[in-house]
Structure 1
Amino acid sequence: MHDALSGKRFFGVTVLNVCITVLEIIGGLLSGSLALLSDAFHNLGDSLSIVISYIAHKISKKSQDSQNTFGYRRAQILAALLNAALLVFISLFLIAEAVKRFSEPETIDGTLMLIVAIVGIVANLISVILLSRGSHHNMNIKATYLHMMSDTLSSVGVILGAVLIKFYGITIIDPIVTILVAIYIMFECWPIIKQAINILMEGAPSLDYEAIRRDLIQIEGVNDVHHVHAWMVDENSVVFSAHVNMADMCLSDVEPVYRKIEKLLKSKYQIAHVTIQAEATRGEGEKLIYDQGRDI
């Protein structure tokens, strides 16, 4: 993950996007292509996205302290949400501009549009390759990677549009390509936005809580489990807490049971942080998920 957004990779992707943005803005203005300008705006968003992602990545590496006892990993979740929201905003703006083009078509230089789009797609592909590592297991990098993939797709659409404009004079394809690409980008952004909001709202991860309860009561010394809470620090780190009813025993006898519980939850359910509160009879028989509003 560190390698994906640091050093030469970070610098290379940033420089490429700035160059593409300048080239496509000039090319879009000279050719009259909204699709090319939309690609330029996406690349501008990409440049900002990469910088935000890199800063968030650095912040997330800070150690836990008294201000953030769970650390700073959620900086990357905030960055992912910001980047995805930025893409949606840009896409909506471009759709609005594309709709205007249907009633107010403009003359488009297909040759210039095609040349600039080809240069753009080559640069975008290089950026995608540079960011590919780490994009599958980190929401922050995934959001940035999505920016790059969306621009690559946008460039493909622009090239197809430029060919139709240059050889067939079908200028209406320009706003159509813009709208299709914008819709696709928003569709791809939605899962990232949804997951980021769920994490920031302390939403529960996808766990089989009844199966966890059955597994825990199989451990010698555990009689019942209740008041379960689970949430995510980031998309890879699940935190779990529960009240566990045990026989009345010495604290030194409780600790080995704790270790068994932690080992089970970490190995079988990939839970990163476990907090257990041992109780004798308090809360015995209550629901697994506490729902009376007085537990926080």
Structure 2
Amino acid sequence: MGHDHAHSHVDDSQSNKQLALAVAINVLLTVAQVIGGIFSGSLSLMADALHNLSDAAAIFIALVARKIGNKPADNTHHFGYKRAEILATLFNSSTLILIGVYLIFEAMSSYLNPQPIDGWIIVWVAAFALLIDLITALLTYRAGANSSMNIRAAFIHNVSDAMASVVVIVAGTLIILYQWYIVDLIATILISFYVIYHGVLLLKQSCRILMQAAPNNFDTQAVTCALTKNFNIEQVIAIKVWQLDDKTSHCELLINAHNSLDLAAVKHFLQHNFNIENCIIEKHNNL
């Protein structure tokens, strides 16, 4: 057991370093994109820069939230601090939506007041951004994108950044070849809608957890049938399931059951078959 515990700390430390490196890279990229956007006059490049800055902030908040979430339960927070990461996701998703809306308004303003754009600066800066986005996506993926909604959100953001950079490269190329300046505005709006889309998805997921909704695809009827079929349970009177965070579900179960019912076996069954980590069972003894 001691070896596994130490290995976990090593993994956490390494993934935290990867996240910190991802933050630093994204901040430097944002600075480069802002400078490129100013000199080229490209709004889509500025849009991509703001998206990258929001990703740097999101990764930083995810890193801080992970550290807070690892704190053990105490006399004040009986369930621990796991929801710190959910609060971070709520904040990050709300910020993404606001940035997306702001960029759309900026795109409209730019359309009414057109400015000359240097396509070559757009292409070179966006190509550099694409490389950095792919590196950052790899870092966030290795830091735990498969096991944490918060880190996974940062990973998705960086993948969307890479896609946005591709859009910007295409826009810059069309400006160079055909002087289609309107493409820059279209690219800005496409990036904005993509940012808003992911922001809304993350906002819905975090709100579901904070509002103590049942996990996605949780079927109360299926759980009830499984319990009455496999155990000496006459009736499932009530079952309430909620998520503590994106990995841990809790349950309160009220049943009519025989005295011989093994409560530990019921809890193990729920954990193994329905991913319910902890369950409080109130039993009415009929027989």
Provide the TM-score with structure 2 as the length reference: 0.90
Letter in 2 for 1:159: I
> Secondary structure, in 3 states, of the residue corresponding to 1:19?
helix
2:187 is aligned with 1:177: yes
Q: State the 1:211 CA deviation.
A: 2.2
* Equivalent residue, structure 2, for 1:48: 57
Q: State the 1:11 CA deviation.
A: 2.7
1:217 to 209, 218, 228: 228
Which ranges of structure 1 fall in alignment gaps of 5 or more residues? Answer: 282-296
* Equivalent residue, structure 2, for 1:286: none
Q: State the 1:280 CA deviation.
A: 2.7
| 1:105–1:172 CA contact under 8 A, matched in 2 | no
2:251 to 226, 231, 240: 240
2:160 to 150, 155, 158: 150
Q: Which of the pair is proportionally richer in helix?
A: 2
Letter in 2 for 1:181: I
Letter in 1 for 2:267: E
2:134 to 90, 105, 125: 125
2:122 to 113, 123, 130: 113
2:147 is aligned with 1:137: yes
* Equivalent residue, structure 1, for 2:5: none
Q: State the 1:105 CA deviation.
A: 1.0
Give distance in 1, aligned partners of 2:276 and 2:214.
Answer: 12
2:174 is aligned with 1:164: yes
Q: State the 1:218 CA deviation.
A: 3.2
Q: State the 1:219 CA deviation.
A: 4.4
* Equivalent residue, structure 2, for 1:279: 284
Give distance in 2, aligned partners of 1:230 and 1:195.
Answer: 16
2:137 is aligned with 1:90: no
Q: State the 1:183 CA deviation.
A: 0.8
Which ranges of structure 2 fall in alignment gaps of 5 or more residues? Answer: 1-10
* Equivalent residue, structure 2, for 1:58: 67
2:266 is aligned with 1:261: yes
Identity %: 33
| 1:5–1:54 CA contact under 8 A, matched in 2 | no
**Which of 1 and 2 has greater Rg?**
1
Give distance in 2, aligned partners of 1:116 and 1:21.
Answer: 10
Give distance in 1, aligned partners of 2:39 and 2:20.
Answer: 29
> Secondary structure, in 3 states, of the residue corresponding to 1:62?
coil
Q: State the 1:237 CA deviation.
A: 1.0
Q: Provide the aligned length of Structure 1 versus Structure 2.
A: 274
Provide the TM-score with structure 1 as the length reference: 0.87
Give distance in 2, aligned partners of 1:36 and 1:208.
Answer: 46
Deviant stretches of 4+, over 3 Å = 1-5, 218-221
* Equivalent residue, structure 2, for 1:188: 198
